[in-house]
Structure 1
Amino acid sequence: MPLYDYISLHPDDPEKSCRVCSRGFELRRPIDRPALEVCPLCRHEVKKLISRVNTPKITKPFSVTDAKKAGFTVLEKRDEGVYERQ
């Protein structure tokens, strides 16, 4: 499930936010659920923030044998503009 970040619409006003939503909080929710409109603790209005995206990290570059095992055709440049299969 993805993580969503929320913050109070009025972070500087203690009458309209609690200490949790005034600082912002992170919540794990299913994708098909609508965004929160109120803080789960104080019931004041919150907005969803744009947060970071989790992308996979490749630790090493693919080698020629890894590419061949994955089903790719590996070409090598022989002369100017001429490529041959490896």
Structure 2
Amino acid sequence: MIVAGYSSVGKTTFAKAHQNIIDLHVMPYKYSNLSELNNKYYDESIKAAPELILNIDWRYDYYDKLISLDKSEPNKIIVIPTDIQIMNWLECD
């Protein structure tokens, strides 16, 4: 099952409180240099880092991972942020 939630609705908190939840973060897919910046930022402020480089194809990679996880972990709930394109693809799938 895939559940989408808006920013700050509590997806990560929910996932930490339950073992059968996968919190599929979007940032590792959305930014090509995120791993390089992880040591520079130690909190949520990394989300506003001006050095982040957008991966223009991130939605394809993210969607592929999401579908793969949904198939390989049928007993888990996957929580994702709302993104109109991803939501449209899910609706058509």
Where on the TM-score scale, by shorter chain, does this alignment land: which range? Answer: under 0.3
Tell me which protein shows more helix as a share of its residues: 2
- Greater radius of gyration (CA): 1
TM-score (norm 1): 0.22
TM-score (norm 2): 0.21
Tell me which protein shows more strand as a share of its residues: 1
